Amino acid sequence: MPEGHTIHRLAARHAELFAGDKLHAASPQGRFAEGAARLSGTVLESTEAYGKHLLHHYAGELTLHVHLGLYGKFSDGPGEPPEPVGQVRLRLASDRHWLDLRGPTACDLLTPPEVAALRDRLGPDPLRADADADAERAYTRISRSPTPLAALLLDQSVVAGTGLIFVTEALFRAGLPPRMPGRALSRAGWDALWADLVGLMRLAVAHGRIDTVRDVHLPEAMGRPARVDRHGGEVYVYRRPGAPCHVCGTEVSRGELAGRNLYWCRTCQPG
């Protein structure tokens, strides 16, 4: 599933392509026909991402809400849109450009109170400028919980936008074991973890991929081959089970937590 940086990049791209334009909207597949009819002919005013949720704000207090989930995908191109291929849930088009959405988990229209309710049920998003004040709220939840830290950080109502790669890697960089109970995390530990997530996620927005290793652990610095993975990016432990830790050489461990894979180094993240 795409992590928050991908959604923030999409929000920026859609604003660049369409903000200020009156858009033609359609649902070639038909499943969003009613919503598309309401959107069609209105002006896209702004876009934003909140965690893994993408919002398009249109004139007339109409908000399009998209959650890509596991299979959702956008594609776009210049000029006239091509014949729709596959299950196109939503097609948006201006005079200059078109955008198709396929396979999302959610594609619906929200009223302003519904937008507020969506934000209220999400934790702070490290990529939002307005999130630092709310980071306090996340620590309050974490510091009272016996739940493993990795599970808390993956819970979108605690922190929004973080997925398995950011969580796994931020815990490694902090030297914290993924199964440590939330309530064992110190205030200073949380402040450092939050700041690191903000930094890693901003870098991912800038590069369009997740890189988490420090300069001294880059392939060139260590004289090791670069990582080959469809998710791209240099990482410490994510999807590297059995491979040597870049810091200490210990084989990276793999485990499971609530049906998700966990990766960690038992030497660098003791406990």
Buried b (16+ CB within 10 A) or exposed e, 153-182: bbbbebbbbbbbbbbbbbbbbbebbbbbeb
- Residue 251 appears among annotated catalytic residues: no
Cβ-based nearer residue to Zn ion, 90 or 268: 268
Tell me how far, at minimum, the Cβ of 177 lies from Zn ion, in Å: 12
Residue nearest to Zn ion (CB): 245
Residue span binding Zn ion (CB under 5 A) among the ranges 107-115, 119-127, 246-254, 256-264 = 246-254
d(CA 134, CA 147): 20
Tell me how far, at minimum, the Cβ of 240 lies from Zn ion, in Å: 11
- Residue 22 appears among annotated catalytic residues: no
Tell me how far, at minimum, the Cβ of 217 lies from Zn ion, in Å: 11
Of the listed 22, 202, 227, 260, which one is catalytic?
Answer: 260
Tell me how far, at minimum, the Cβ of 154 lies from Zn ion, in Å: 22
Number of Cβ within a 10 Å radius of residue 23? 24
Question: Binding Zn ion by CB under 5 A: which of 248, 255, 261, 271?
Answer: 248
Interacting positions 249-268 with Zn ion (CB under 5 A):
250, 265, 267-268
Asked if 247 touches Zn ion (CB under 5 A), the answer is: yes
What is the sign of the dihedral through the CA atoms of 123, 125, 131 and 133?
positive
* φ, ψ of residue 140 in degrees (nearest 5): -60, -45
**Residue located via tokens 């700041």:** 195
Cβ-based nearer residue to Zn ion, 131 or 265: 265
Cβ-based nearer residue to Zn ion, 126 or 178: 178
Residues contacting Zn ion: total by CB under 5 A:
7
Asked if 171 touches Zn ion (CB under 5 A), the answer is: no
Cβ-based nearer residue to Zn ion, 1 or 243: 243
* φ, ψ of residue 48 in degrees (nearest 5): -155, 160
Among 130, 123, 266, which residue's Cα sits nearest to residue 190? 123
Cβ-based nearer residue to Zn ion, 36 or 235: 235
At 27, is the secondary structure helix, strand, or coil?
coil
Residue span binding Zn ion (CB under 5 A) among the ranges 24-32, 39-47, 113-121, 243-251 = 243-251
- Residue 52 appears among annotated catalytic residues: yes
Interacting positions 139-158 with Zn ion (CB under 5 A):
none
* Residues 6+ away with beta carbon under 8 Å from 256: 262
The C-alpha angle with vertex 258 and arms to 256 and 259, in degrees rounded to 5, equals: 65
- Residue 220 appears among annotated catalytic residues: no
Per-position DSSP letters for 162-231, written without gaps between them: --HHHHHHHHHHHT--TTSBGGG--HHHHHHHHHHHHHHHHHHHHHTS-----GGGSHHHHT-PPP--TT
**Contact positions vs Zn ion (CB under 5 A):** 245, 247-248, 250, 265, 267-268
Active site residues per annotation? 2-3, 52, 260
